[in-house]
Structure 1
């Protein structure tokens, strides 16, 4: 599967040029935003960890080995990219134990920056947002066009697609999910099962969002839509009055799309018709997700970009800084600007 099949059309027009992202790990930096006051006491040790070229699960295993605890005693709020420089929280359950020496887990790829005790463990999804600093190198695009596009994105947001990394190389996770769905079976391995269920559900959501980007309705509420605030998981039905809510214009309130699970989508009207049409094209996948015990949930269609700033450290480098809600993908912001190409494959002249 190509990028267009996994995600969908751009909302802002054609790519303005090309660039490289992640020529080195430090070109993609992520800082987890966690709005939880830590008490300084309790049986859980919370760790603020910096990791480079290391995925979250391997970092958890290394911390567990160094602390002498099983990996199930390690918790984290979310998975972070491997090819990146990321800072995120972990917690270790250490009832009746002193703080362990974690130096054996540390090297150039992992450093423990801070540790604080707390009464509770870190829950999945507990972080409120992620802060990003991205450096696009080997940039081949006009600066004026990039600046204008970024001003547009700041005002209107971008489609809240699940990024291509959710789907594995060449969409392999989606292919595997479809194979399991065709047999109405589930992998026994927990991590694989979770990854494939997530990929299948994310793929269906992207199909709904792609259709609404194509018809222009991703930016506006329709009667029968289910609306949600940027930082809330609850949603409510849109009537005619809600479709004129001023909070839609300031990117605080948004229409949502289906994250498939048990039962029919609770949307109505045109939104339900579109979501039902997507489900009708993928009946085995929808049924598989429901049988796996997934609950029907919603995801906002529009992604507001918080605190967006940018500059050009060098003529062929664009540095972006912004904040996104948890669970959203920085790469879908970049996708509205340029096509990403592998390092070493940029031989066209730079245009500034």
Structure 2
């Protein structure tokens, strides 16, 4: 497969068992389109103007700087909900103080187009989005591979995907987490606050991905082998293994799992594993994984045994993250005359479309 970045640079475990599908995927404005889904409807009145903009070949930061310079606004006064890919066509919403309305109306740029505007009461804040809709075009797809992709999409529609952080999280060379680890261990000093935080966030993300990959691997072993063999390989009690094998979903929930209602809700301990695993299969709730830190809820029992290896208390702030997500509104279209396979889907905020593609084409 040819691509701009290695989608699985850290050798994360896939949960689907098909062989690699050799196609062409490149992140560019024609083959990768991201459309932000706002968290709420905008009011139509207020001291901020919400601009729906379309950008190409620019990061969100670059686009915001161009807009700020053009209209004479301070960068910090522009609100946005999330950062969007540079190597894509992206549509998102930003907020600008109403005093710049005249300059907004006359703004032009070859890589940024203002599609519509509406007034709103508040500045848009980070995280104020429901999710994102993606359009992706894969090229050099044979008829046989198109069928394999369709089969993979069918399983993803039923079971979802591991909610790994994408390669974008780890920097251009995929090694920002190594600098974060060095900062945590005291072997690297980084005086620039924003860079230090970026490296630490990358290390937290790496630990989460590593934990999730291990759990996917264990789940695959549970599905593939008899209880006695699993006891020897993983060190789990045979009664527990039988419980886990009975779970319909390919990601096996463990006793003591910290769950969250899906797509949002409170975090709680899974008391009745059989009941909660059934609700997980029905997309009503999902297990969560740890972004380590001093102030964060910790799982219990067997789930905590598999989590503690990745729990570094040296981070100030930790969090729980969905271990699994369910792509929604999945549609696909195979253009045999061009050997193109086009697909679209939505994901909740914080999830990566590149991980959907990685799971599909391995």
Partner in structure 1 of residue 194 of structure 2: 191
Note the 1:251-262 alignment, pairs <5 A: 251-262=283-294
Matched, 1:332 2:355: yes
Partner in structure 2 of residue 298 of structure 1: 320
Note the 1:1-352 alignment, pairs <5 A: 6=10, 8-22=12-26, 24-94=28-98, 97-102=99-104, 106-139=108-141, 142-183=145-186, 187-216=190-219, 219-232=251-264, 234-240=266-272, 243-244=275-276, 246-263=278-295, 265-279=297-311, 286-288=312-314, 290=315, 293-294=316-317, 296-314=318-336, 316-339=339-362
Alpha carbons of structure 1 residues 23 and 76: separation in structure 2 relative to 1, 3 Å: closer
Q: Which runs of 5+ in 1 are unaligned?
A: 280-285, 340-352
Distance in 2 separating the partners of 1:191 and 1:20: 35
Distance in 1 separating the partners of 2:252 and 2:319: 20
CA contact (8 A) 1:61 1:71 kept: yes
Deviation at 1:3, TM superposition (A): 6.0
Given the two structures, how large is their TM-score scaled by the length of structure 1?
0.85
Given the two structures, how large is their TM-score scaled by the length of structure 2?
0.83
Distance in 2 separating the partners of 1:49 and 1:162: 26
Alpha carbons of structure 1 residues 232 and 7: separation in structure 2 relative to 1, 3 Å: farther
- Match of 2:91, SS state, is strand
Q: Which runs of 5+ in 2 are unaligned?
A: 1-5, 220-243, 245-249
CA contact (8 A) 1:16 1:145 kept: no
Distance in 1 separating the partners of 2:353 and 2:281: 22
CA contact (8 A) 1:176 1:196 kept: yes
- Match of 2:126, SS state, is coil
- Match of 1:195, SS state, is helix
- Match of 2:140, SS state, is strand
What is the number of residues matched between the two proteins? 327
Deviation at 1:15, TM superposition (A): 4.0
Deviation at 1:199, TM superposition (A): 0.9
Distance in 2 separating the partners of 1:106 and 1:252: 45
- Which piece of structure 1 moves more, 2-11 or 296-305? 2-11
- Which piece of structure 1 moves more, 205-214 or 248-257? 248-257
Q: CA RMSD in A?
A: 2.4
More relative contact order, 1 or 2 (CA 8 Å, 6+ apart): 1
Distance in 1 separating the partners of 2:78 and 2:296: 36
CA contact (8 A) 1:159 1:303 kept: yes
Distance in 2 separating the partners of 1:81 and 1:52: 9
Distance in 2 separating the partners of 1:44 and 1:186: 40
